[in-house]
């Protein structure tokens, strides 16, 4: 039995206060009547009303959502493949390079990734815009998916796959009917992670996007440089709300799935 | 049939992501290197290409002879760049240490928490990571401003009479980095500490160790894999950080990510920014390989 000392509790409370207080303050001041974000002048939702009349902002939000949905989906397929390759085939030519290319983007400063991808697109004569943005997002998010799915695959009991193969299932149907259902929660959380990373990205997007494909973070950044306004607080609050709801749904879904899986396994063994 | 299908499936699983990363991650670095060796031109794209692939091998040989190290010489001649690299590494280093000092008690507290609430605590640490990085950095501007919320608070309780100047100093950058990267440090520390057998510490205490020496002799050494992983996860991206120094740091702040961005966007000097990126990559290649090594080892243990 572990003892949870007062020191432990205090450090957790202080730590979480540090993590959450800035976000809470930002949300509170998005409802401020005054144009100043540091002086409270009464409750108001006028910044939200103003926001929904800002067509440029809504366009940017739409671009961001489309890029995120496409790139997260493709990145999830590629990342899951990469995770399979990393865990299943421990020896193939160039494996060191492969794992290097999976791990390096996780820590690579975004300015380097962004610049290098931009120079690739220029070198091959690909006009910068929506699609270059999407390709860049697929590339950096697939590595995060790969790591998430890989950690699930490492604890995966391969004997059930072997059983399926012995019973005559093809590798593809084994993957689709046995492996995928088991790793599905990890694949799904990889997809959600890729989606939020894509929605969030500023630096790589700024390098790889072109005219007509301005994303919401790029828009927010250019407004922030002009100064802090409650309108930005309002956009941020909406984004935080979306993420909070998304994470909540994801955790409920994965918990249910996990409970279902445990129940199924028990039922299978009970027979 | 099945065997052929199996072979094709196995191949595809490797080849598709491999080819993708080669083309979109590795080849771009080769292009960066190539452009860093070319000269600036007033054209679009604004550099003179080194290789003319249409001319085949002879073109490549001719290209190698045309390599120009002018951009690198330029970087060494202007003290600004050396200073920016130095201060980036120093700022990243200080921030990493501060993050470790703040994250350790949190991770330790979490690992010692009743097992029922641990998943919730873990979720609470991860959650801010899902909200926008830009938003989290932006939130600090309103707090740290001279007339901001922190100064209002401190002055109202009478701790200070003059507002503290934090925004646009290095302190704001440290706060920004610590805040943004805290989950990256807490998570590996937590997973190292959670695995630890607490009876070892109790044995040390029973045998007469003081709590402090028990920590340094038992707990800390066992958490070193987590410390290393966490520090690398914070240090490497922090060296090249752009958003935090740009929004929280002042005009005097020199960080290489910001220099690269300005060189590229404001001065439109692509060969020089490619050279800046190449040197930054050279500085980071050792920590990155170290990180990869640590990750591969951790995967091996999980197997």
| A230 pLDDT tier (thresholds 50, 70, 90) | confident
Q: 3-class secondary structure for A76-135?
A: HHHHHHHHHHHHHCCCCCCHHHHHHHHHHHHHCCHHHHHHHHHHHHHHCCCCCCHHHHHH
User: Which pLDDT band, with edges at 50, 70 and 90, does B174 fall under?
Assistant: very high
Which among A81-85, A172-176, B39-43 has the top mean pLDDT?
A81-85
- Give the least confident one: B6-10, B32-36, B215-219: B6-10
pLDDT tens string B129-164: 777 888 889 889 888 888 888 888 888 888 888 888
C-beta separation of B239 from B231 below 8 A: no
Pick from B20, B142, B303, B90: which is nearest to A227 by CA? B142
pLDDT score for B1: 44
Q: Is the pTM of this model over 0.90?
A: no
A241 touches chain B (CB under 8 A): no
With a CB cutoff of 8 Å and minimum separation 6, the contacts of B229 are B188, B192, B291, B294, B295, B298
SS3 track for B186-225: HHHHHHHHHHCCHHHHHHHHHCCCCHHHHHHHHHHHHCHH
Q: How far is CA B1 from CA A170, A177, B7, B175, in A?
A: 9, 19, 10, 60
Cα–Cα dist A43/A41, whole Å: 7
pLDDT for residue B41: 63
What pLDDT does A126 receive? Answer: 87
pLDDT at B303: 45
User: pLDDT digit string (tens) for A137-154?
Assistant: 999 999 999 999 998 888
CB-CB: which of A105, A119, A154 is closest to B31?
Answer: A119
With a cut of 70, say whether residue B274 has pLDDT above it.
yes
Do residue A236 and residue B139 have CB atoms under 8 angstroms apart? yes
B72 pairs with which residues across the strands?
none
- Residues B196, B134: Cα–Cα separation, whole Å: 35
Write down the pLDDT at residue B55. 55
Q: Please tell me which of A205-219, A236-250, B202-216 the model is most confident about, judged by mean pLDDT.
A: A205-219
A-chain CB neighbours of B231 within 8 Å are none
The answer to whether residue B52 scores a pLDDT higher than 60 is no
| Angstroms from B161 CA to nearest CA on chain A | 18
Q: Which residues of chain A neighbour B237 with C-beta distances below 8 Å?
A: 107-110
The domains of chain B, with CATH numbers, are 69-302 (1.10.3720.10)
Residue ranges and CATH numbers for the domains of chain A are: 54-261 (1.10.3720.10)
B-facing residues of A in 174-233 (CB < 8 A) are 175, 193, 196, 199-200, 202-203, 206-207, 217, 220-221, 224-225, 228, 232
ipTM metric: 0.84
**For B55, which DSSP code?**
G
- Which pLDDT score is estimated for B48? 64
Cβ–Cβ below 8 Å for A2 and B128: no
CB-CB under 8 Å, A228 with B31: no
Distance CA A208, CA B70 (A): 26
Average pLDDT over residues A243-268: 79
């Amino acid at each position: 039995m572990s003892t949870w000392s007062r020191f432990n509790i205090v450090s957790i409370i202080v730590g979480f206060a540090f993590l959450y207080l800035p976000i809470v303050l930002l949300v509170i001041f998005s409802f401020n009547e005054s144009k100043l974000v540091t002086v409270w002048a009464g409750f108001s939702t006028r910044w939200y009303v103003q926001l929904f009349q800002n067509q440029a902002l809504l366009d940017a939000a739409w671009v961001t959502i489309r890029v995120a949905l496409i790139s997260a989906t493709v990145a999830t397929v590629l990342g899951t493949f990469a995770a399979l390759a990393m865990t299943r085939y421990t020896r193939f030519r160039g494996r060191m390079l492969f794992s290097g290319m999976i791990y390096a983007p996780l820590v690579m400063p975004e300015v380097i990734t962004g610049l290098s991808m931009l120079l690739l697109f220029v070198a091959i004569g690909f006009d910068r815009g929506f699609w270059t943005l999407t390709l860049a997002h697929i590339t950096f998010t697939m590595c995060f998916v790969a790591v998430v799915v890989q950690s699930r695959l490492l604890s995966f009991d391969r004997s059930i796959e072997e059983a399926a193969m012995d019973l005559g299932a093809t590798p593809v149907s084994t993957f689709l009917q046995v492996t995928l259902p088991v790793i599905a929660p990890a694949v799904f959380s990889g997809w959600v992670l890729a989606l939020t990373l894509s929605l969030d990205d500023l630096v790589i997007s700024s390098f790889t996007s072109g005219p007509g494909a301005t994303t919401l973070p790029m828009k927010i950044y250019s407004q922030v440089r002009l100064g802090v306004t409650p309108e930005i607080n309002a956009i941020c609050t909406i984004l935080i709300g979306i993420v909070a709801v998304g994470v909540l749904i994801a955790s409920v879904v994965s918990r249910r799935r996990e409970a279902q899986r445990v129940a199924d396994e028990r039922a299978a063994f009970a027979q | 049939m099945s065997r052929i299908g199996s072979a094709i499936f196995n191949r595809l699983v490797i080849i598709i992501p491999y080819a993708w990363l080669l083309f979109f991650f590795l080849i771009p670095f080769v292009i960066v290197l190539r452009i860093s060796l070319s000269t600036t031109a007033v054209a679009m794209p604004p550099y003179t290409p080194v290789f003319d692939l249409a001319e085949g091998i002879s073109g490549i040989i001719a290209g190698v002879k045309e390599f120009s190290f002018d951009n690198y010489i330029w970087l060494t001649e202007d003290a600004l760049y050396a200073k920016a690299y130095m201060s980036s590494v120093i700022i990243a280093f200080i921030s990493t240490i501060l993050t470790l000092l703040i994250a350790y008690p949190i991770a330790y507290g979490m690992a010692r928490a009743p097992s029922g609430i641990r998943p919730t605590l873990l979720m609470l640490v991860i959650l801010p990571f899902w909200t926008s990085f830009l938003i989290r950095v932006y939130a600090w501007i309103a707090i740290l401003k001279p007339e901001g919320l922190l100064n209002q608070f401190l002055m109202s309780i009478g701790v200070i009479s003059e507002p503290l100047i934090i925004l646009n100093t290095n302190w704001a950058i440290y706060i920004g980095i610590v805040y943004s990267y805290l989950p990256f440090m807490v998570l590996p520390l937590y997973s190292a500490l959670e695995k630890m057998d607490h009876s070892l510490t109790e044995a040390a205490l029973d045998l007469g160790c003081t709590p402090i020496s028990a920590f340094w002799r038992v707990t800390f050494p066992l958490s070193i894999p987590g410390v290393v992983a966490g520090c690398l996860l914070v240090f490497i991206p922090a060296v090249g950080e752009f958003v935090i120094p740009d929004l929280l740091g002042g005009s005097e702040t020199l960080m290489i990510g910001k220099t690269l961005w300005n060189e590229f966007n404001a001065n439109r000097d692509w060969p020089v920014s490619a050279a800046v990126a190449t040197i930054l990559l050279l500085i980071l290649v050792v920590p990155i390989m170290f990180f990869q090594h640590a990750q591969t080892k951790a995967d091996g243990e999980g197997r």
